[in-house]
Amino acid sequence: MISSINSIQKKLFNKSRDEWKDLFVNNAIYIVIFAIILFIVISEPSFLSVPVFKNILTQSSVRLILAFGVGGIIILQGTDLSLGRMVGFAAVVSGSLLQRADYANRFYPDMQALPLFVPLLVAIAVCVVFSAINGFVVAKFQIHPFLATMGMMISLYGVLSIYFASGAPGPQPIGGFDDRYTNLVIGSTFGVPNLVIIAALVSGLIWVLWNKTTFGKNMYAVGGNPEAAKVSGVNVMTTFLLVYVLAGVMYGIGGFLEAARIGSANNGTGFGYELDAIAACVVGGISFSGGVGKVSGAIVGVLMFTIISYGMTFIGMDQYFQYIIKGIIIVAAVSLDTKKYLKKS
């Protein structure tokens, strides 16, 4: 035991100045985040409580599902600016199909109550179609994902707004959700929030897909070096489409859950969600350089961002300052990711 401690001490004290500098730089973003969390805890000690912990896990759940969707695209050296609009579309579609029969302003006044899985499948299908279009355009025409998904984001907002305004009551927030829907999402099982359980199940599924399937191996291969993957027999087009389709599935599930979580949906739902999801992935080590990323990294990134967001609100920090801090964290995370990539090159 003593020899082990001495060995660790030697390793620590024998590090050169450059090694210490690299260690600090490579972990600077985590040091800053933990410093912010420490500041929050010192400012308001009641932040360390079971109810707060539950709220953080609940708020993290939908964000984590969305991060898994865009995370696969980032591994392919891409991004998805249309994520938020797809989530909004899924939320509006789900909400419009799952209103109570006695609600005065029903989107579809004469529609009978549907099984919960039907609106979920419709929401997923909508997102899969638009996400697959993104993947096809990026892979087939070699358009940069930033531009392709930005175009989709703008177009999709128009389509979403048309659908949102087409309901019987006109363009107004969709609410009055069926109790089955609300209870499924914001309820709990044996004291554990259902959202947390759903997020855990999705996490397990994504871990298997990324690490134990041919699809996952192909995704990392294409993200790391598309040309080498193609020479090795990997169908790059199919891999792109499958990754974007999986992202669409995650967005559809996320939108379905988000509408019930916040209790309403409109054509502005999901605005800015893409930034939080992308930032969480990068903070969690999913690299824009491609071929690098873990499920555990996405989980850590989402939890860190949620803790910071919830914590800053908890201590009463002005929302504008929150935007500034989040922006700095995002820029720092991307800068460090780029530095690591250049160093490897």
Domain ranges of the chain: 48-344
Pick the CATH number of 48-344 from 1.10.110, 1.10.3470, 1.10.287, 1.10.20: 1.10.3470
What is the per-residue pLDDT for 35? Answer: 84
**C-alpha span between 148 and 327 (Å, rounded):** 23
Longest pairwise C-alpha distance within the chain? 77
Radius of gyration of the CA atoms of the chain, in A: 22
Q: Both tokens of residue 206?
A: 């994504």
Smallest Cα–Cα separation from 179: which of 269, 109, 263? 263
CB count within 10 Å of CB 214 equals 9
pLDDT of residue 7: 58
Are 285 and 293 within 8 A, CB to CB? yes
- What span, in angstroms and rounded, lies between the C-alpha atoms of 90 and 250? 10
Give the number of other CB atoms < 10 A from CB of residue 199.
25
Helices of type H across 14-144: 17-26, 28-43, 50-75, 83-97, 117-141
H or E element, residue 188: strand 188-189
Measured distance CA(13)–CA(11) in Å, rounded = 6
d(CA 52, CA 41): 12
If you ran DSSP here, which 8-state letter would residue 234 be given? -
Walking along the chain (345 residues) 10 residues at a time, the average pLDDT comes out as: 54 59 65 83 88 91 96 96 97 96 92 95 97 96 94 96 94 94 94 95 97 96 93 94 98 97 94 90 88 92 88 87 82 73 60
Give the pLDDT of residue 23.
64
Task: Please check whether residue 260 is in contact with residue 158, taking contact to mean a CB–CB distance below 8 angstroms.
Answer: no
Distance CA(46)–CA(314), nearest Å, equals 10
